């Protein structure tokens, strides 16, 4: 045998046979009394395992395959990872419709029951400095898929520095992830159907990251529950966050897809790339944002249900800058964008496919205040394209492509530039 092969073979063999986590750093919840039978309360057993790992300075608490029932809540100490068996986020569609109360028998599932009917209260699971939740399913077995949902506290709360949620299925929580009052949170590879709120971000002074998070109504689309979600649900809510990074996120069937608010701590600015909202009454709502702005690129947005389906709403209190670049808007909505406030709203290299669903003569973009920029966009229907209200302070409408004749209405007495637009006729 080659000398080099003889030298490295023992090392390769040892690496292949070594466990993923060193035994000294791993703590199985089964060793602390957890049953995972879907009936026995495993709260105390889990907390003992977590505290033991925390007192040791950190480690991995393993939750093997099972349905773990919780009547209480959990706190994950600093530098501790609570891990199930999933390496990639699982998906369980129509579990209750299939005739069972258990979400799955093929992985690590947490059955959450504490504080039913009460939105206030501690989150089911709170992460601290450098702690992580990975590879589990969170399921609320007492939530009825055919009724208006019961309120519960947040499923997960992120606190401290660098908390992370990875490869987790939020199957049916009332409130999903409370990502407030922390630094550098990481939420990656999360799916499910949070019913009231998916993710709340606020009081973030050092960059937070949300990646590959998709919320779909796979647990229940039964009329009463789904209608409630359409009337009340908010998938992503952003208050104060200094340079939030959001990549490849999606939501379906909410009242509001992405909502930007002014909280007690301030407003949001950040980079939002490849985000999407389908069948939301309002896909993007900006109550207010930071002066340096929201940069929304490569987005896909549709709205076609509700009293006044609109892809983009910018409220009267907004003073920041909102920029949509290379985004697509479609679905038979009333209008693509309704813009008010004192800030700047821009659309560049965007595509607008459908609007004015009731044939009322509504323009795709309706601006009632602030500064409007529409450049290099394509309007694919022969309908009014842009309406500029009296309170608009400045506007540039240039280098766009129109289907049919240009139909731009300008009521502003302030500087407005309209030019270099190409029409069919």
pLDDT per position as a tens digit, 264-312: 999 999 999 999 999 999 999 999 999 999 999 999 999 999 999 999 9
Q: Worst-scoring range by mean pLDDT, 102-106, 226-230, 348-352?
A: 102-106
Q: Residue 116 and residue 142: Cα distance in Å, rounded? A: 8
Q: pLDDT tens digits, residue range 38-60?
A: 999 999 999 999 999 999 999 99
Query: For residue 103, what pLDDT is reported?
Result: 57
Q: Is the pLDDT of residue 98 over 50?
A: no
Average pLDDT over residues 411-423: 96
Structure confidence at residue 106 as a pLDDT band (50, 70, 90): confident
Q: Is the pLDDT of residue 10 over 80?
A: no
The percentage of the chain sitting over the pLDDT mark of 70, rounded to a whole number, equals: 92
Structure confidence at residue 424 as a pLDDT band (50, 70, 90): confident
Q: Residue 92 and residue 10: Cα distance in Å, rounded? A: 41
Structure confidence at residue 105 as a pLDDT band (50, 70, 90): confident
Q: Residue 137 and residue 412: Cα distance in Å, rounded? A: 54
Query: For residue 104, what pLDDT is reported?
Result: 63
Q: Is the pLDDT of residue 127 over 50?
A: yes
Average pLDDT over residues 124-153: 97
Q: Is the pLDDT of residue 7 over 80?
A: no
Query: For residue 95, what pLDDT is reported?
Result: 58
- Structure-token pair, residue 56: 């040791």
CA end-to-end span of the chain: 79
Query: For residue 359, what pLDDT is reported?
Result: 95
Write the DSSP string, 350-372: -EE----TT-S---SEEE-SEEE
At which residue do the structure tokens 């049953």 appear? 35
Query: For residue 4, what pLDDT is reported?
Result: 43
Average pLDDT over residues 215-237: 97
Q: Residue 192 and residue 52: Cα distance in Å, rounded? A: 31
- Structure-token pair, residue 34: 């957890």
Query: For residue 175, what pLDDT is reported?
Result: 98
pTM: 0.93
Structure confidence at residue 35 as a pLDDT band (50, 70, 90): very high
Q: Is the pLDDT of residue 101 over 80?
A: no
CB 252 within 8 A of CB 194: no
Phi, psi of 141, rounded to the nearest 5 degrees: -70, -20
Q: Is the pLDDT of residue 146 over 50?
A: yes
Q: pLDDT tens digits, residue range 160-176?
A: 999 999 999 999 999 99
Query: For residue 91, what pLDDT is reported?
Result: 85
Q: Which of 37, 33, 71 is nearest to 49 (CA)?
A: 33
Average pLDDT over residues 83-98: 79
DSSP assignment letter at 13:
H
Q: Regarding predicted confidence, which is higher, 4 or 352?
A: 352
Q: Which of 254, 301, 314, 259 is nearest to 281 (CA)?
A: 254
Query: For residue 237, what pLDDT is reported?
Result: 98
Residues in contact with 264: Cβ distance below 8 Å, sequence separation at least 6, in sequence order: none
Q: Is the pLDDT of residue 94 over 90?
A: no
CB 367 within 8 A of CB 390: no
Q: Which of 289, 293, 245 is nearest to 271 (CA)?
A: 245
Structure confidence at residue 25 as a pLDDT band (50, 70, 90): confident
Q: Residue 283 and residue 185: Cα distance in Å, rounded? A: 24
At which residue do the structure tokens 């550098």 appear? 184
Phi/psi region, residue 226 (left: phi>0; alpha: psi -120 to 50; beta: rest), is alpha
Phi/psi region, residue 87 (left: phi>0; alpha: psi -120 to 50; beta: rest), is alpha
CB 42 within 8 A of CB 35: yes
Q: Is the pLDDT of residue 100 over 50?
A: no
Q: Is the pLDDT of residue 341 over 60?
A: yes
Q: Residue 122 and residue 86: Cα distance in Å, rounded? A: 26
Write the DSSP string, 151-199: P--EEEEE-EES-EEEEEEE-S-SEEEEEESEES-EEEEEEE--SSEEE
Q: pLDDT tens digits, residue range 383-410?
A: 999 999 999 999 999 999 999 999 999 9
Please count the residues of the chain: 425
Residues in contact with 174: Cβ distance below 8 Å, sequence separation at least 6, in sequence order: 119, 140, 143, 149, 150, 151, 152, 194, 195, 196
Q: Regarding predicted confidence, which is higher, 3 or 244?
A: 244
Q: Round the average pLDDT of the chain to a whole number and report it.
A: 93
Query: For residue 193, what pLDDT is reported?
Result: 98
Q: Is the pLDDT of residue 220 over 70?
A: yes
Structure confidence at residue 102 as a pLDDT band (50, 70, 90): low
């Amino acid at each position: 045998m080659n000398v080099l092969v003889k030298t490295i073979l023992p090392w390769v063999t040892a690496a292949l046979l070594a466990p993923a986590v060193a035994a000294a750093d791993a703590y199985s919840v089964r060793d602390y009394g957890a049953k995972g039978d879907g009936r026995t309360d495993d709260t105390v057993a889990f907390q003992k395992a977590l505290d033991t790992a925390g007192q040791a300075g950190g480690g991995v608490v393993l939750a093997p395959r099972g349905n773990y029932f919780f009547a209480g809540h959990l706190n994950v100490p600093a530098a501790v990872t609570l891990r199930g068996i999933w390496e990639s986020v699982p998906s369980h569609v129509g579990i209750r419709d299939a005739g069972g109360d258990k979400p799955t028998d093929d992985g690590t599932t947490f059955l959450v029951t504490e504080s039913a009917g009460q939105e206030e209260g501690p989150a089911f699971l709170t992460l601290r400095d450098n702690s992580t939740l990975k590879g589990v399913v969170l399921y609320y077995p007492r939530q009825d898929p055919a009724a208006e949902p019961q309120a519960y506290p947040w499923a997960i709360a992120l606190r401290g520095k660098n908390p992370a949620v990875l490869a987790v299925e939020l199957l049916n929580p009332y409130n999903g992830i409370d990502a407030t009052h922390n630094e550098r949170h990481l939420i990656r590879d999360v799916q499910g159907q949070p019913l009231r709120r998916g993710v709340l971000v606020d009081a973030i002074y050092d960059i937070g990251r949300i990646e590959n998070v998709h919320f779909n109504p796979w647990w229940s689309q039964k009329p009463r529950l789904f209608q409630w979600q359409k009337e009340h649900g908010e998938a992503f809510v952003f208050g104060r966050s200094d340079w939030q990074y959001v990549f490849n996120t999606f939501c379906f069937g909410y009242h509001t897809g992405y909502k930007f608010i002014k909280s007690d701590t301030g407003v949001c600015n950040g980079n939002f790339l490849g985000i999407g909202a389908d069948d939301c009454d309002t896909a993007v709502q900006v109550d207010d944002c930071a002066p340096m702005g929201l940069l929304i690129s490569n987005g896909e947005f549709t709205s076609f249900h509700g009293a006044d389906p609109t892809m983009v709403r910018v409220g009267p209190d907004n003073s920041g800058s909102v920029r949509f670049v290379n985004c697509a808007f479609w679905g038979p909505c009333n209008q693509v964008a309704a813009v008010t406030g004192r800030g700047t709203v821009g659309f560049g290299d965007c595509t607008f496919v459908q609007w004015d669903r009731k044939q009322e003569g509504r323009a795709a973009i309706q601006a009632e205040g602030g500064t409007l920029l529409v450049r290099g966009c394509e309007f694919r229907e022969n309908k009014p394209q842009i309406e500029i209200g009296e309170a608009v302070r400045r506007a540039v409408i240039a280098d766009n492509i129109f289907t049919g004749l240009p139909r731009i209405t300008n009521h502003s007495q302030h500087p407005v530039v309209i030019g270099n637009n190409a029409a069919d006729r």
